[in-house]
Amino acid sequence: MNGGSSLLVSCHLLRTATRTNRSLFLPGMISGNNSTSIAAARYSSHTITEELSHRRSKVTLNTIRTLHKKNIPITALTAHDFPSGIVADRAGIDLALVGDSLAMVELGYDNTNHVTMEEMLSHSRAVARGCKTPFLVADLPFGTYEISPEQALENSIRLVREGNVEGVKLEGGVEMADTIKKITTAGIPVLGHIGLTPQRSASLGGFKVQGRTFTGARKLLHSAQALQDAGCFAIVLEAIPAPVAKVVTQALTIPTIGIGAGNQCSGQVLVQLDMLGSFDKFTPKFVKKYTNAFETNTAAVAEYVREVRQGSFPAEEHTYSMRNEDDVKKLEELAEELDIATKAKSSGI
């Protein structure tokens, strides 16, 4: 079902969802605590990433499709560097995204539009070194795909070849369909992104919820179907009302990944530093903080400062000893000689 007919059906679904406002909960996946210490792996004969690669099967597009077919929610999370890539891998994430959100939460820019292609490539490579199991996607940064489909394909190839990712994400609706088709025809998987599109926030009047009117919702439906027809393997729905996200999800045959779009999507994505509480400037309404890493880390560093000032760190368990007592005695004798020589020099003898 494509084109106009599917849009009419989708609009009918939207009216129904708006009238009934019913919730349809998808079965969740709960993972237990993993107490295995990553630090311990540093003293193994294998690297951390080598050990992680054997923990579970590699997630592929077929894995994503199977999860979707079985109505198992897809887990997605951003990763911006090597450590966060390891976290996504170890925690069992299905899809890891090197998001251009790193511009704000990692590099300190005011918005996502400042991050460059070279920066995205560098961060993508770092994530790829630690994130071996999830399906790995990277954002095409602002200005690298809007000029022409050819420009978009060229930069997509760079992200795959130089950034070591498996797919790309780009923002936009119907107007990006030809560009997406160009990329997917070349064999590069594309993750679409509609609703609140941060790269276009200025034209949207800021970071505002999209699709709150029937006209806006219908536009999102049309865009989602156009992106599906262009070959997207999934679509991110950001900051749209839950009833709209539900209808869009029902209207498509590919997964939707929600962020601020309710629990009716095929999966969810969050910015890792947001959900860990590592970014203290602001927290979007749709973010749940699963811990408060910023406060924890700040307190830990303050404790380090205190212990260094007091001389209690490093303690004996953090230091190395010499191999035998004879060498210790020789070193003490040398220290005495040096002390005598230093005193003599300072006194002018």
Contacts of 88 (CB under 8 A, 6+ apart): 77, 79, 96, 131, 134, 272
- The per-residue pLDDT for range 24-43, each reduced to its tens digit, is 333 333 333 333 333 444 44
- The per-residue pLDDT for range 93-143, each reduced to its tens digit, is 999 999 999 999 999 998 899 999 999 999 999 999 999 999 999 999 999
The residue type found at 155 is N
For the chain, the helix, strand and coil percentages under 3-state DSSP, each to the nearest 5: 50, 10, 40
Beta strand extents in the chain (DSSP E only): 74-78, 95-98, 135-139, 167-169, 190-195, 234-238, 256-259, 267-270
308 has a pLDDT exceeding 80: yes
> What does the domain layout of the chain look like in residue ranges?
1-56, 58-291, 323-349
Distance CA 294, CA 278 (A): 4
For position 349, what pLDDT does the model report? 60
For position 43, what pLDDT does the model report? 44
Distance CA 145, CA 122 (A): 18
Confidence of residue 279 (pLDDT cuts 50, 70, 90): confident
What is the average per-residue pLDDT within 206-214? 86
Nearest residue to 67 via CA among 98, 95, 103, 45: 95
Three-state DSSP class for residue 96: strand
What is the average per-residue pLDDT within 203-229? 90
CA distances from 237 to 129, 216, 258, 270 (A): 28, 13, 5, 12
For position 201, what pLDDT does the model report? 63
For position 198, what pLDDT does the model report? 78
Contacts of 253 (CB under 8 A, 6+ apart): 228
Superfamily for the 58-291 domain: Phosphoenolpyruvate-binding domains (3.20.20.60)
- The per-residue pLDDT for range 287-298, each reduced to its tens digit, is 999 999 999 999
* Residue 238 β-bridge partners: 195, 259
* Residue 77 β-bridge partners: 96, 270
Average pLDDT, rounded, for the chain: 87
Three-state DSSP class for residue 78: strand
DSSP alpha helix (H) spans, 214-292: 214-230, 242-251, 272-275
- The per-residue pLDDT for range 164-195, each reduced to its tens digit, is 999 999 999 999 999 999 999 999 999 999 99
Three-state DSSP class for residue 195: strand
So which residues are the catalytic ones? 238
Three-state DSSP class for residue 238: strand
Distance CA 166, CA 156 (A): 10
